[in-house]
Amino acid sequence: MVLAFPLVMLAIFFVAPFAIMIAYSFYRRIPGGFYEPAFDVGSWKRLFEPVFLDRAAFSIGISLLAGAVCIAVAFPFTFFLTRMRRRPQVALLILVLSALSLSEVIVGFAWSVLLGRASGISNILVWLGLMDEPRAYQPGFLAVLLGLSYIAFPFCVLTLYPPLSRLDREVTEAAQTLGASPWKTFRTVVLPIMRPTLVAGFLLVFVFTLGSYLIASILGRPEHWTLSVFISDQASFNANVPFAAAMALFLTILSLVVVGVVILIESRTRDAS
């Protein structure tokens, strides 16, 4: 059967690695760089150390924040975008798509320059006389947040674009003929209709930024490094694959849990309203 080929490929290259990863997470680490097959929960135990839990909490936190920021800006932006005339709409979309095709490392680089002390925003402000001397805003928390938002923003816009453009204009017009001000229309009509899409977009940004490695590395100090950075460093530079595997599995479970919780909350409040 034709189905066999892709299924086999998926099984070998996806299911198998996952299974192997689970196995590896129980291997014992030999000090000095390698590991041997074993059933050692040492790696899993380390997951509960405060250092690691801190990192996990920070990762989740900053990703949720990035999700909120992205949606909060992308939603009105895309809404107005869909109501523009054809030419400006196309032009803006080309801008968004171009930003999308930048690789993460280039985005990180660009923001590191923009927020740096040598030729960034602060230099412009000094030149304009609004600041005394240039300052570096990176590496820092804000830098990481801005970087994450930048790479996630185009995805947000592209996800919100189809449903927003299909939103029947006459629905909002009808609300206004019934006496709702533009703000009220937005709150009581547009928002509820778009809610599932907004939640989906939020989760998209959350999962996407959770997996970011480069932005956090480039724009953040070690205290701002996300779990993804931690994991890859363990896997490559420390050659501590068992620990990396354990963390990776933990990250998977964590993401699924958060996504599940958000979906649960969303459907509960939807039924309530």
Q: Any contact of residue 124 with other proteins (CB under 8 A)? A: yes
Report the residue from 195, 197, 211, 263 that binds other proteins according to the rule CB under 8 A: 211
The Cα 153–Cα 96 span in angstroms is 8
Q: Any contact of residue 21 with other proteins (CB under 8 A)? A: yes
Q: Any contact of residue 153 with other proteins (CB under 8 A)? A: yes
Query: Of 33-72, which residues contact other proteins (CB under 8 A)?
Result: none
The Cα 200–Cα 206 span in angstroms is 10
Asked if residues 204 and 74 have their Cβ atoms less than 8 Å apart, the reply is: no
SS3 35: strand
Q: Any contact of residue 116 with other proteins (CB under 8 A)? A: yes
Report the residue from 58, 232, 258, 262 that binds other proteins according to the rule CB under 8 A: 232
Give min distance, CB of 103 to other proteins, in A: 3
> Smallest Cα–Cα separation from 111: which of 217, 207, 224, 232?
217
Asked if residues 120 and 113 have their Cβ atoms less than 8 Å apart, the reply is: yes
The Cα 255–Cα 247 span in angstroms is 12
Strand residue runs (E) in the chain: 28-30, 34-36
The Cα 19–Cα 15 span in angstroms is 6
Q: Any contact of residue 110 with other proteins (CB under 8 A)? A: yes
The distance from CA 99 to its chain's CA centroid, rounded to whole angstroms, is 15
Asked if residues 80 and 188 have their Cβ atoms less than 8 Å apart, the reply is: no
Q: Any contact of residue 231 with other proteins (CB under 8 A)? A: yes
Query: Of 249-268, which residues contact other proteins (CB under 8 A)?
Result: 249, 251-252, 255
Q: Any contact of residue 3 with other proteins (CB under 8 A)? A: yes
Q: Which is nearer to other proteins, 85 or 178 (CB)?
A: 85
Q: Any contact of residue 241 with other proteins (CB under 8 A)? A: yes
Q: Any contact of residue 7 with other proteins (CB under 8 A)? A: yes
Q: Which is nearer to other proteins, 82 or 266 (CB)?
A: 82
Q: Which is nearer to other proteins, 158 or 193 (CB)?
A: 158
Q: Any contact of residue 107 with other proteins (CB under 8 A)? A: yes
Cα distances (angstroms) measured from residue 55 to each of 16, 101, 127, 224: 28, 29, 39, 8
Give min distance, CB of 273 to other proteins, in A: 25
Q: Any contact of residue 150 with other proteins (CB under 8 A)? A: yes
Q: Count interface residues toward other proteins (CB under 8 A).
A: 87
